[in-house]
């Protein structure tokens, strides 16, 4: 079963606005990863944040991790129509060679 949820399930914003997606989980993690999926395509890795890190940046992406609250957030600044996609968080717990994916947030960026 899926561990954790993403919030919101869907988000609609206008181009230029910021988009924030949240990911909560229940068990301890070794690292947490964010992925993007365009409609009908495979997932693309965006950022990996380790359990001892609190924040990471990559271009217009900012990821935060709060292990005490068992939550992470992905911020996309100055969104573009091309950012329209589903975004998933995935947790690596260290107990097996696999990731556990969240349910995803569908982001729609309109002109």
Binding site for another protein (CB under 8 A): 2, 30-31, 33, 40-45, 48, 88, 90, 92, 94, 96-104, 106
Three-state SS sequence of the chain: CCCCEEECCEEEEECCCCEEEEEECCCCCCEEEEEEECCCCCEEEEEEEECCCCEEEECCEEEEEECCCCEEEEEECCCCHHHCEEEEEEEECCCCCCCEECCCEEEEEEC
Between residues 3 and 15, which has the closer beta carbon with respect to another protein?
Answer: 3
Closest approach, Cβ 75 to another protein, in A, equals: 19
Between residues 19 and 102, which has the closer beta carbon with respect to another protein?
Answer: 102
Between residues 18 and 28, which has the closer beta carbon with respect to another protein?
Answer: 28
């Amino acid at each position: 079963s899926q561990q954790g949820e993403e919030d919101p399930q869907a988000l609609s914003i206008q181009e230029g606005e910021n988009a924030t997606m949240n990911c909560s989980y229940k068990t301890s993690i070794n690292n947490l990863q964010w992925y993007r999926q365009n409609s009908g395509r495979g997932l693309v890795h965006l950022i990996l944040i380790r359990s001892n890190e609190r924040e990471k940046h990559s271009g217009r992406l900012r990821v935060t991790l709060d292990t005490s609250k068992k939550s992470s957030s992905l911020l996309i600044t100055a969104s573009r129509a091309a950012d329209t996609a589903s975004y998933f968080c995935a947790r690596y717990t260290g107990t097996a060679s696999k990731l556990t994916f969240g349910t995803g947030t569908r982001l729609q960026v309109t002109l």
